[in-house]
Amino acid sequence: MSNTYTQLYIHTVFAVKHRHSLIRPAWKEDLYRYMTGIVQNQGHKLIAINGMPDHVHTFIGLNPKQSISELMQYLKMDSAKWVNEKRLTQAKFEWQSGYGAFSYGHSQIDSVIRYIQNQEEHHRKRTFLEEYIAFLQKLKVPYDEQYVFKPVEE
């Protein structure tokens, strides 16, 4: 489309089903490379990706030709399929339903990248659930606690 210019930066957060810590250091970089390919093949730019054994953060330069929900559907479905085809976990690997998606401006790019790159450090101070709720509150996103990522099953 001529004369259409966009600058859309989206930070996404999503968890392994039941927040089980299934993403292993031995293969997480391969997973992140695969996920980068999914994002790029959908016409977007993956700026940063990192996470912990139970969740992933992405920072994406979004192409407006595709909705965030459609991109996230592809990203989660295809990456889970990849993990399962590679047999990287003993049980079936699944992402929990839902995700968080937060928009940022150009002036915030560096701080979001640093935040995503320093996940291990952040999680020494707070849990994933505390981090996620802090995002929702800081960005004034209305939420219902019963639908926030389910806790790890005992």
Residue 154 has what pLDDT?
A: 44
What is the arithmetic mean of pLDDT over 98-122?
93
**Closest C-alpha to 38, from 11, 60, 13, 6:** 60
Question: What domains sit in the chain, N to C, each tagged with a CATH number?
Answer: 9-147 (3.30.70.1290)
pLDDT band at 117 (very low <50, low <70, confident <90, very high): very high
**Closest C-alpha to 24, from 51, 46, 59:** 51
* pLDDT tens digits, one per residue of 92-106: 999 999 999 999 999
* pLDDT score of 51 more than 80: yes
What is the arithmetic mean of pLDDT over 13-17?
94
